[in-house]
Amino acid sequence: MTMANTIGFIGTGVMASSLIGGIVAEGLYAPDQIYCSDPYPPAREVASKKGYNVTESNSVVCTNAKDAVFLAVKPNCVLDVCKDIAEVEQLDAVVVSIAAGVTLEALENALPGKRIVRVMPNTPCLVREAASGFSLGSLATDDDRKLVKKLLDAVGVSMEVPENLLNAVTGLSGSGPAFVFQFIEALSDGGVRAGLPRHVATMLAAQTVKGAAEMVLNTGKHPGELKDGVTSPGGTTIAGVEALEKGYDVVSLNRSTFCFLGLKIHPFHTFFIGTLPRHGTTFWLYFFPVIWYESGFRASTMSAVTAATKRSMQLGGASDEEIGNKYGL
């Protein structure tokens, strides 16, 4: 159901455009109920073509937005934009900031008497699969809470958290997509290492991550329980899990061992490990073949894929010699 009033966006970048797109697609507001400002002419032109009310003036947006005004600008620009907002005496809309790191205290000091909500969305907002956290300012009302949640849920899911946890939200869901992209790439690398064409490996890896995530969300089961459901005794998956854990164990062993021995890790540790404190004695790699070897995130993930592939071949009757000679695994 379309809302009766209007909302505004100061800034029409990627995140703002994604939010607006989801809000319109969900039928919460029509394009002509949305007011936008942006200093960049091409951005205004794009927004105008979508049917939004577009202006250069932040004050015009604040004057016309009756429900909410989103601050969708870079963190270093927020306080300057707040000066424009503070000049609008008749502003009764809740101010929603999506600027990372700008606290509610800073916003409330810049906008005395205004109702403020701080939000941390993430880039899957672009495909309406965002995971957002939000916190209410001291003057925000329960109606503000319901409105902001409805708007954020138009592009994914949202959860209210105390503001002191928004940094953790930033680290988890804000930065998390980059970690997942690395994992997908590493899974794909493992598939390529096992013989799959790159485009096939990447598609299978991405769909696997998407499907696994949906299982966590839809079943309500702990990820460990779902993992156990895949790892049949003596099967391919448990072989991959073992290889994955071994990779991380080596990393932990390396760092723990360095700390225990008091070794200083050199930037050129490809050639030597380090030096003992006080004595300055250099230890070369071949003296410590286990300690120096460090398997990173990508290598561990690739090892898991290839280990599961190898176990699948073994279960099909192939010998280790045949697997090594024929497939290079």
Are 31 and 6 in contact by the 8 Å Cβ rule? The answer is no
Q: In what order do the strands lie in the sheet with 116-120?
A: 53-55, 34-37, 7-10, 68-71, 94-97, 116-120, 130-136, 156-160
DSSP, collapsed to helix, strand or coil, labels residue 88 as coil
In the 8-state DSSP scheme, what is residue 326? I
The Cα–Cα gap between 44 and 47 comes to 5
Residue 138's identity, in one-letter code, is S
Which tokens hold the place of 122?
């993430």
Strand residue runs (E) in the chain: 7-10, 34-37, 53-55, 68-71, 94-97, 116-120, 130-136, 156-160, 264-265, 272-275, 282-284
106 closest CA partner among 166, 150, 172: 166
Greatest Cα pair distance, the chain, in angstroms, is 79
The per-residue pLDDT for 249 is: 52
pTM of the predicted model as reported, rounded to 2 decimal places: 0.77
Binned average pLDDT, 10 residues per bin, the chain of 329 residues? 79 90 91 94 93 93 94 90 88 92 91 94 89 96 96 94 87 86 90 92 95 94 93 87 71 46 44 42 40 56 67 72 78
List pLDDT tens digits, range 306-323.
776 677 667 667 788 887
Enter the DSSP assignment of 263.
Answer: P
What is the pLDDT at residue 274?
43
Q: Tens of pLDDT along 161-178? A: 999 888 888 888 888 888
Nearest CA to 111 among 152, 69, 151?
69
Give the model's pLDDT for residue 258.
44
Please report which helix (H) or strand (E) contains residue 275, including its range: strand 272-275
Name the percent of the chain in helix, strand, coil, to the closest 5.
Answer: 55, 15, 30
CA distances to 230, 241, 302 from 227, in Å:
5, 9, 18
pLDDT tens digits, 33-58: 999 999 999 999 999 999 999 999 99
SS3 label, residue 139: coil
Contact 99, 73 (CB under 8 A): yes
